[in-house]
Amino acid sequence: MSNEKIDRATLTFGDRSVELPVVTGTEGECALDISHLREKTKLVTLDPGLGNTASCFSKITYIDGERGILRYRGIPIEKLVEKVMFIDVAYLLVHGVLPTEEERHNFSQLLNFNSLMHEDMRHFFDLFPHDAHPMHILSTMINAMAAFYPNVDSKSLVENIDQATARVISIVRTMAAFVYKKSIGEPVVYPRHDLSYCANFLNMMFDSPVKPYQIRPETVRLLNILFILHADHEQNCSTTAVRVIGSAQVNLYATISAGISALSGPLHGGANQAVIEMLRTIQEDGDVDKFIKMAKDKSNPFRLMGFGHRVYKIYDPRASIIRRECEQYLKTIHYSDPLLDVAHRIEEAALKDPYFIDHHLYPNVDFYSGILYRAMGIPENMFTAMFALARLPGWVAHWQEMIGSQTKITRPRQVYVGKPLQTSDVFASKNPLLI
Ligand code: ACO
């Protein structure tokens, strides 16, 4: 790393001391480089959940969880949602700079040319149960893309990163819309060359031969904002999955499929669906305080979904924008959602409760996004798939960065706490093969 300040720290263990380099990132955060620690001391480090471990150098996204800052390639997300579209952000994440007009035009063309899914892949839909979760279908189908689009070794994809990015984000969008259409038994709607990325997705989701879909500019604008806000979030669980799996030099599609699987969990991207389910339960019950109490009770597994974050210790900056946009959009389209009122009541109660204050638990990106998706007509089981679509450029950017900078396969150590060598006779029979 060229322009980083290098310093040293001394670690003393028993009667031995070892000097370890300290590296400093662009924004001043310091990290102890322990990569040669075991060689020098036989010690490994232990950090379950990797909450205190920087697993790589990255130039893509910066988060300051204490100050609520999120920037892609140095640009605050607040500025990006005001000034550009999702495809510009996809380009930014992958290339490090926003596209010029010509680059934008070329990238749009690529998105258009790559928007058709291989027709043979449509047979996949016939094999899934009609109520299969979209995230399960997507992870399977994306993994299968390597078979339909061969020659996907890391080198060729990195060399043609625009093509790789366009194929992933364009085809997966088509796939996601097809998943929905199949689930409701309607004919699929093909992508159109004359629509922008987000408008095209909405059209594929909602257009029908018997009821043409009216694309509202405010809905397209909002979807762009939601997608921009979800586009990357540095080393979160799914991105880490992409980087770890990619380090074995598997193809890009397999890594994205792993990212989708990780994202589907309720503690990660699956939280946006879980929030709506929770809000509905609270609405039916009517007693907000009871659920606040349950969330604080350690003997109760209930957690306030959409609250808390590994990195943010104040209000998630994405949640602030989504909350504001949610209120505006609902007004604009004259739509009233009783769940928004429940969400406000929970937020109000939690933000003044000492438990939530002391634990630094604030609404995260998932708390209000589901209410917006509902207002746009997106069904609940598609919420996490929406998150996945938005996160695709982030995963591609991290995969590309990892391939370009990491030469080693990711392979952590462990502290073995199982049985020591079993010396007595542990086998039930002298010769089990003869039984
Ligand atoms: N409700 C109640 N208590 C909570 C919550 C919550 N939502 N989140 C954390 N806590 C408490 C824990 O019980 C724990 O308390 P303790 O220290 O007294 O035992 C403390 O806060 C720390 O919790 P951890 O689980 O250790 O925090 P971690 O950083 O590992 O987890 C996570 C972060 C998974 C997001 C957690 O806050 C959570 O489960 N939130 C609800 C699910 C959710 O909204 N996920 C989406 C996250 S955003 C995203 O992935 C896109």
Contact 108, 84 (CB under 8 A): no
- Report how far ligand 1's centroid is from the alpha carbon of 307 (Å): 7
- Report how far ligand 1's centroid is from the alpha carbon of 281 (Å): 20
Tokens of 247: 């380090």
- Per-residue pLDDT tens for 291-317? 999 999 999 999 999 999 999 999 999
- Residue 306 Cα: closest atom of ligand 1: 44
Is residue 309 annotated as part of the catalytic site, yes or no?
yes
Percentage with pLDDT > 70 across the chain? 96
Q: Per-residue pLDDT for 153 more than 90? A: no
- Report how far ligand 1's centroid is from the alpha carbon of 19 (Å): 35
Q: Name the closest-CA residue to atom 47, ligand 1.
A: 268
C-beta of 267 in contact with ligand 1 (< 6 A)? yes
C-beta of 308 in contact with ligand 1 (< 6 A)? yes
C-beta of 359 in contact with ligand 1 (< 6 A)? yes
Distance CA 54, CA 69 (A): 18
- Per-residue pLDDT tens for 19-42? 999 999 999 999 999 999 999 899
Tokens of 171: 């085809």
Is residue 366 annotated as part of the catalytic site, yes or no?
yes
- Residue 298 Cα: closest atom of ligand 1: 13
Question: Does an H or E element contain 223, and which?
Answer: helix 217-230
Mean pLDDT of 249-262: 95
Is residue 2 very low, low, confident or very high in pLDDT (cuts 50, 70, 90)? Answer: very low
Contact 396, 91 (CB under 8 A): no
Q: Name the closest-CA residue to atom 14, ligand 1.
A: 359
C-beta of 310 in contact with ligand 1 (< 6 A)? yes
Active-site residue, from 133, 230, 233, 309:
309
C-beta of 271 in contact with ligand 1 (< 6 A)? yes
- Per-residue pLDDT tens for 341-381? 999 999 999 999 999 999 999 999 999 999 999 999 999 99
Contact 420, 117 (CB under 8 A): no
Q: Name the closest-CA residue to atom 4, ligand 1.
A: 303
C-beta of 304 in contact with ligand 1 (< 6 A)? yes
Mean pLDDT (the chain, rounded): 93
Distance CA 172, CA 168 (A): 6
- Residue 359 Cα: closest atom of ligand 1: 21
Q: Who contacts 367 (Cβ-Cβ below 8 Å, separation ≥6)?
A: 275, 305, 306, 307, 319, 322, 323, 343, 347
Q: What is the pTM of this model?
A: 0.93
Contact 239, 399 (CB under 8 A): no
C-beta of 305 in contact with ligand 1 (< 6 A)? yes
Distance CA 91, CA 98 (A): 6
- Residue 310 Cα: closest atom of ligand 1: 29
- Report how far ligand 1's centroid is from the alpha carbon of 244 (Å): 23
Q: Name the closest-CA residue to atom 8, ligand 1.
A: 308
Is residue 90 very low, low, confident or very high in pLDDT (cuts 50, 70, 90)? Answer: very high
Whole-number pLDDT of residue 431? 65
Active-site residue, from 207, 232, 316, 366:
366
C-beta of 303 in contact with ligand 1 (< 6 A)? yes
Question: Does an H or E element contain 280, and which?
Answer: helix 271-285
Whole-number pLDDT of residue 160? 84
Mean pLDDT of 176-197: 95
Whole-number pLDDT of residue 78? 98
C-beta of 295 in contact with ligand 1 (< 6 A)? yes
Contact 65, 52 (CB under 8 A): no
